[in-house]
Amino acid sequence: MTCDKYAATICPRPACWTHWRSKQPPLPKSGKLRLYSNRFCPYSQRIILVLDAKKIPYEVVNINLSNKPDWIYDKNPYGKIPTLELDNGDCLYESSIIADYLDEKYHQHPLHAKDPLQKAKDKILIEQFNRIITTMYRVMMNVGRISLDDDEAISEGLTTFERELGRRGTPFYAGNKPGMLDFMIWPWCERADILKLFGNQHLLKREKYKKLMEWRRRMTEEPTVKRSMLDSDYHIKYLQSYRAGMPDYDLILNSN
């Protein structure tokens, strides 16, 4: 398989059908998973991080979200990504559901805490982070200045995670190595510098979030994170193209 001109990025795995004219791909090979994704989708990156951390064989099909192929609705009735296809044709969607399935199905390199109480607390934190995600998306995807309410929501959310790292006293939320909570929040932390476009550098001040900023630095050094991580410039350029009404899913391809 080869990427065509509509592909969102150069995939490290077998590549991509993406646009509305493309044919529906055959089922994945036996024992292999297929992720319907998009290179700039943070929810898809969540699943890539889990797959890579657990060393599960998979391939990626990047979807052009501006010109979705009709067959994507056969995989996911909402036509959304990420969608995970199994080799028997079953498909799963919603990033948190896919992530939990992968951790339960594939026992190598477990990402959730073994202790049921700790696992539940981590899931609560993931839900809390979803509120930050909602606010960040509203700020990033809409033209206009950030409101005081949005500013406060992001600041309070980051403070919660700063305190939690201090309470746990470990390099990562999962301990000495990243776990499910770390990977579920990372994609948005990778994109956090985008907030500087809106004059909100104070939200990311190192002296205010010392532990969180150190965690972010450690995450960038993790091999699993490095495999899917993009430089902030790519995220900013993509966002600018999206806000202009012409999302450039080929941005990485065109830069090589």
* Residues acting as catalytic residues: 41
Angle between helices 232-243 and 116-141 (to 10 degrees): 50
CA angle 178-183-188, nearest 5°? Answer: 130
Alpha helical stretches, state H, the chain: 42-53, 72-75, 95-105, 116-141, 148-168, 180-190, 210-220, 223-228, 232-243, 251-255
Q: Which residues contact 196 (CB under 8 A, 6 or more apart)?
A: 204
54: part of which helix (H) or strand (E)? none
User: What distance in Å separates the CA atoms of residue 140 and residue 142, rounded to the nearest whole number?
Assistant: 6
- Residue carrying the six token digits 């044709």: 89
Contact 63, 33 (CB under 8 A): no
User: What distance in Å separates the CA atoms of residue 154 and residue 131, rounded to the nearest whole number?
Assistant: 8
CA angle 116-119-123, nearest 5°? Answer: 135
Tokens coding 9: 């990025």
Contact 123, 103 (CB under 8 A): no
Tokens coding 79: 């036509």
